[in-house]
Amino acid sequence: MHENLVIVESPAKAKTIEKFLGKDYLVTSSMGHIRDLEKKDFGIDMENNYEPKYVVSPDKKKIVTELKKLAKEAKTVWIASDEDREGEAIAWHLKETLKLKPEKTKRIVFHEITKDAILRAIENPRPIDDNLVNAQQARRVLDRIVGFEVSPVLWKKVKPSLSAGRVQSVAVRLIVEREREIISFKSKSSFRVTAVFLVPDLDGNTVELKAELKRRFETKEEAEAFLEKCNTAEFNIADIVKKPSKRTPAAPFTTSTLQQEASRKLGFSVSQTMSVAQRLYEAGKITYMRTDSVNLSSLAINTAKSQIISSLGEKYHKVRQYKTNSKGAQEAHEAIRPTYIDKESVSGSNQEKKLYELIWKRTIASQMADAELERTTININISNSQETFQATGEIIVFDGFLRVYMESTDLEDDNVGATVSGTILPPVKLNQQLRADLIEATQRFTQKPPRYTEASLVKKLEEQGIGRPSTYAPIITTVQNRGYVVKEERPGVEREYLQFSLKNNELKKAVKTEITGAEKNKLFPTDVGMVVNDFLIKYFDQIMDLSFTANVEIEFDEVADGKRVWNEVIDEFYQPFHQHVENALEVSERTNGERILGDDPKTGKPVSVKIGRFGPLAQLGETTDEGEKPQFASLRSGQHLETITLEEALDLFKLPRDLGEYEDKKVTVAIGRFGPYVRHDNKFVSLEKGVDDPYTVQLDRAIELIEAKREKDRKALIKTFDEEPDLRILNGRWGPYVSYKKKNYKIAKGTEAEKLTLEDCKKIIEEGPKPKRGKKK
DNA sequence: CAGTGAGCGAGCTTCCGCTTGACTT
C-alpha cells in the first residue's frame, strides 16, 4: 500500500519517474485519454447546449478499474498528465471518472523528466484549469460535429462509408490541388549553356574549370548562334570575387522534422519512423517522440557542451536556445533528443541504430558553432559577345556543426553541372586567357511542381497548424484507407531534348532522350478523392479552407484564456454550419464525377466516365426507353477520370475479346487487376508480360498458355481423394498445403505430405486457419 | 484473385487526439 499515487500518460514515463520518487510513490499511467464521446447517437446533446456524453473507451475499461482501485488505496492522488489542452482534459476526465475527492487530489506538471523538475512539481501543485479543459471540449465537440454531420452527406450523395473531417479533408485537398497543378502544368524549355575550360594548376597539370552562362536562351536558334560565335571567341577572366558566408545548424528534432529527415536520409515512411522511435523511447534511449517543442533541457544543453568540447574542442561549441514558431504548438515536452547525450550509438535493430544516430547528430549539431564558408565567383568575358560565363566554388573555412550533421532538403537535384557548391576552383588570375575545351547548350525544361511525399505533407500540415504530433502518421493512413489517396510508384515518360556542342571547332547538334516524371513513394489522389474533394469545396467551403483550423484555434485559445464560453463558441459555429449541411442534402445532386468524353465514331453513341459502385468506369451508350442498355467497362490502374481520353476509353470496350472455342468452351481475353489474362472454363491464365498483347493475341497462343498452366498445376498436385473431390494436397510457394473449398490450410513442417490420409487432412482443416485479423468484409 | 454497374432494401459506415499492445507473414 502506497501513500501516493502518481498518474502520468505513458508507462515508459511512469517507469522513469518512479525511480526519482522513491518507495512512497506508486507511479502508473492512464495510457492517454480514458474517456471519449459516445460513438453511437452522435455523443453530443444538441438540444442541451452541446453537452458532451462521455463514456469510458472500451479499450480503457481495464485500466480505469485498476486506477479506481489504486486511487482508493492512496492518501493522495497526483495527476501528472501533460501541460497542454489534451493533458489538462485527461486530468479532468481522470478526476471525474475515478470520482477523486478534491482534498486528496493534486494536479502537477513538469516539462522535463529530471529529479529536480519532478520534486519541484510535487511542491507546487495547482488546481485543474477548467478553462483549458473547456477549450479541449470545444475542440473535441467541433471535430465530432464536423465529422459526423458531413460524412453522412457523402454517404448519400457520393458513396457509402466515406468520411470527412477538419484535418483529413484538408490533407486530401492539398494533394488534389497539387495533382491538378501538375496536370495543367505546361513546361517551357530554354537552353542552358555550360563550358569546360582548361587551365594549368600549381603543378603545371591541366585541370578543368567548369562554368555556366549567366543567361539561358529561349530558342534553339539563339543557342546555336551563340555557340557559333564561341567558336571564334577568346575567353578571359574578368573578375574574381570572394565572399564569406556562414551556415547555422537546424533546431533539434520535433516529431514533424524527425519524420522529414528520416524520410530523406533513411528512406523511412512516417509510420515507420514513429514505431522505431517508440521502441527507442520505451528502451529509455530517447526522450518522448511526439512533441512540437524544439526546447532542450538545461541538463541536455550542458551534457552536449561537455561532449562537444571534450571531443572537438572549445571552438566547435556554441550554446543555442531554440524557440518554437510553428502554428498551434503546445510544447508539453522537450525536443526529441537522446536521453544520454554522451552515448553516440546504441544497440538494437539496424533501424533503431540509424534513427538514434540521426537524433544524436542533430542534437549535438544544434549546440555547435556555425560553419564558415567562402564562396568564390569568377566571371569570364567573351570577346565577341556581351554574355558572361560564371564559375562558382565554395570552400569550407571552418566546418563547425557540418562536422557532425547536415540537414537535407526536398529539392530535386536537377542542376547538377558547373555550379556545385562545395567545389574547389583551380587557381586563376585576373585577365587570364582561357582555352575552351567543350561548350554545350542543352535544352532544359521547367519542372512540374513536386508531388507530396508522406513527410512533405506532414511538413505542410504542420506549417498550417493542422494536426498534432500524435496524429501526423494516422492522418496519412486514414486518407489512404478511405481510398482518397494512394502512395505509389509511377513510371516516367521519355522526352526528347536538343543539345548543341562545340568541341575542337566543330559544332554538333544532337537529339537526346531522357526519362522525366518518374515518381516513387509519392502521394496521388484517387478519382474518389477528387470527386469528394470537389463536392466538399462546393458545399462546405469553410471547413475546406486551409486556415479553418488556425481560425478555430484562435477561438479555442480565447476559451483557454477564460475570455469566452466554450458552448457559445460552438453554437456560433454550428448554426451556420448546420445550414450548410441541410443545404447540401437538399440542393446537391448525386455526385459521381461524370465526364462526357464525346461520341463513339463507329456507333455515334456517347462515351462518358464516372465513379460507379465498384470504382471508376467508362460507359458507352445510354439507357433508352426502348430498353437499350449501355455497355460498361472499369478503368484500368493508371487511368483517371480527369485525364482519360476518348480513344483510351473506347479501347476499354474492345475487351473482353472472344477468341473462339477450345474443348467446346469459350476462350476470352481481358485485363484484370493483375494484368491481361485468358479465361477458359472459369479458369484464368495470365498472358506473358512483354510477349502477348490482349488486343491481338490469337486462339492458338491462348491454348498454348492454357496447356502450360495445366501442366504446371499438374506438377503442383500431390494427392487427391476420390471420396472428397474438393480436397486436394498441393505444392505451393511455401511448400505443401491442403486446399479445400477455396480455402488453404497450412501443413505443419516436417510432415510428409504424400502420406497424409483423408482423416489427417480433415483434422488439419478443423484446426486451422485462424480467422484473419482486420475488418475485411 | 481477375466477373459486376439494377433490383426488395436491413443495417452499417463517420471525426480528432491522447496512449499502447495484439495481431499476422
| CA A304-A307-A310 angle, 5° bins | 145
Say yes or no to pLDDT of A772 above 50.
no
Closest nucleotide relative to residue A9's CA, C1' based: B19
Does A288 qualify as catalytic in the annotation?
yes
pLDDT score at A1: 65
Determine if strand B comes within 7 Å of the CB of A614. Answer: yes
Closest nucleotide relative to residue A14's CA, C1' based: B19
* A115-123 and A11-21 helices, crossing angle to 10°: 80
Contacting residues for A692 by C-beta, under 8 A, at least 6 apart = A676, A701, A705
Residue with cell 455515334: A604
Which protein residue lies nearest to nucleotide B12, measured between its Cα and the C1' atom?
A161
Say yes or no to pLDDT of A155 above 70.
yes
pLDDT score at A423: 78
Share of chain A above pLDDT 70, in %: 94
Contacts 24+ apart (CB under 8 A), A213-216: A213/A387, A213/A388, A213/A389, A213/A390, A214/A387, A214/A388, A214/A389, A214/A390, A215/A387, A216/A190, A216/A191, A216/A192, A216/A444
Sort residue A422 into left (φ over 0), alpha (ψ -120 to 50) or beta.
Answer: left
What is the C-alpha to C-alpha distance for residues A773 and A529, in angstroms, rounded to an integer? Answer: 27
Share of chain A above pLDDT 90, in %: 69
Query: How does residue A767 score in pLDDT terms, banded at 50, 70 and 90?
Result: low
Closest nucleotide relative to residue A771's CA, C1' based: B24
Determine if strand B comes within 7 Å of the CB of A670. Answer: yes
C-alpha cell at A307: 561532449
Determine if strand B comes within 7 Å of the CB of A38. Answer: no
Which protein residue lies nearest to nucleotide B15, measured between its Cα and the C1' atom?
A147
What is the C-alpha to C-alpha distance for residues A294 and A633, in angstroms, rounded to an integer? Answer: 53
C-alpha cell at A40: 453511437
Q: How far is the CA of A267 from the C1' of B3 (A)?
A: 39
pLDDT score at A419: 34
Ordered alpha helix ranges (H), A388-471? 454-463
pLDDT score at A38: 95
Protein footprint on strand B: which nucleotides are under 7 Å from a CB? 1-6, 12-21, 23-25
Determine if strand B comes within 7 Å of the CB of A689. Answer: no
Closest nucleotide relative to residue A156's CA, C1' based: B13
Determine if strand B comes within 7 Å of the CB of A86. Answer: yes
Query: How does residue A769 score in pLDDT terms, banded at 50, 70 and 90?
Result: low
What mean pLDDT is predicted for residues A165-169?
A: 98
Determine if strand B comes within 7 Å of the CB of A165. Answer: yes
Determine if strand B comes within 7 Å of the CB of A632. Answer: yes
pLDDT score at A669: 86
What mean pLDDT is predicted for residues A479-500?
A: 94
pLDDT tens per residue across span A606-626? 999 998 877 889 999 887 777
3-state SS class at A79: strand
Q: How far is the CA of A440 from the C1' of B13 (A)?
A: 61
Strands of the sheet containing A76-79, edge to edge, are: A25-29, A4-8, A76-79, A105-107
pLDDT tens per residue across span A623-674? 777 777 888 888 887 888 989 999 889 888 887 788 888 888 888 888 776 7
pLDDT score at A108: 96
pLDDT score at A328: 66
Q: How far is the CA of A773 from the C1' of B1 (A)?
A: 19
pLDDT score at A625: 72
Instruction: Provide the 10 A C-beta neighbour count for residue A643.
Output: 11
Query: How does residue A741 score in pLDDT terms, banded at 50, 70 and 90?
Result: low
C-alpha cell at A92: 479532468
Q: How far is the CA of A76 from the C1' of B4 (A)?
A: 64
C-alpha cell at A716: 503442383
Say yes or no to pLDDT of A106 above 90.
yes
Closest nucleotide relative to residue A332's CA, C1' based: B18
Residue with cell 555550379: A419
Say yes or no to pLDDT of A102 above 80.
yes
Query: How does residue A697 score in pLDDT terms, banded at 50, 70 and 90?
Result: confident
Determine if strand B comes within 7 Å of the CB of A470. Answer: yes
Name, of A508-512, A709-713, A755-759, the range with top average pLDDT.
A508-512
CA-to-CA separations, A644 to A477, A597, A719, in angstroms, rounded: 27, 8, 49
What mean pLDDT is predicted for residues A393-404?
A: 94
Q: How far is the CA of A726 from the C1' of B1 (A)?
A: 19
Determine if strand B comes within 7 Å of the CB of A471. Answer: yes
Phi, psi of A439 (to 5 degrees): -125, 130
CA-to-CA separations, A49 to A68, A142, A351, A565, A569, in angstroms, rounded: 30, 13, 50, 11, 11
Least confident of A250-264, A397-411, A526-540, A679-693: A679-693
Q: Measured between alpha carbons, how far apart are the two ends of chain A, in Å? A: 49
Residue with cell 460535429: A145
pLDDT score at A421: 52
pLDDT score at A420: 35
Query: How does residue A412 score in pLDDT terms, banded at 50, 70 and 90?
Result: very low
Strands (E), A94-178: 105-107
Strands of the sheet containing A724-732, edge to edge, are: A717-721, A724-732, A735-740, A743-746
Q: How far is the CA of A150 from the C1' of B2 (A)?
A: 35
Residue A49, amino acid: N
Which protein residue lies nearest to nucleotide B16, measured between its Cα and the C1' atom?
A143
Determine if strand B comes within 7 Å of the CB of A612. Answer: yes
pLDDT score at A734: 63
Determine if strand B comes within 7 Å of the CB of A28. Answer: no
Say yes or no to pLDDT of A581 above 70.
yes
Q: How many helices (H) and strands (E) does chain A have?
A: 20, 30
What mean pLDDT is predicted for residues A194-206?
A: 93
Determine if strand B comes within 7 Å of the CB of A278. Answer: yes
pLDDT tens per residue across span A80-94? 999 999 999 999 999
By residue count, chain A amounts to: 777
Contacts 24+ apart (CB under 8 A), A23-30: A25/A78, A26/A2, A26/A70, A26/A74, A28/A66, A28/A67, A28/A70, A30/A60, A30/A63, A30/A67, A30/A81, A30/A90, A30/A94
Q: How far is the CA of A505 from the C1' of B8 (A)?
A: 84
What is the C-alpha to C-alpha distance for residues A291 and A286, in angstroms, rounded to an integer? Answer: 12
Q: How far is the CA of A166 from the C1' of B15 (A)?
A: 8
**Which residues pair with residue A189 across a beta bridge?**
A445
Cis bond before residue A769 (omega within 30° of 0): yes
Does residue A257 contact residue A250 with C-beta atoms inside 8 Å? yes
Question: Who wins on pLDDT, A361 or A204?
Answer: A361
Residue (of A159, A711, A739, A732) closest to A484 by Cα position: A159
What mean pLDDT is predicted for residues A171-192?
A: 97
Q: How far is the CA of A621 from the C1' of B7 (A)?
A: 21
pLDDT score at A768: 59
Determine if strand B comes within 7 Å of the CB of A307. Answer: no
CA-to-CA separations, A97 to A26, A44, A134, in angstroms, rounded: 19, 18, 17
**Catalytic option among A281, A288, A316, A745:** A288
pLDDT tens per residue across span A241-280? 999 999 999 999 999 999 999 999 999 999 999 999 999 9
Strands (E), A448-490: 485-490
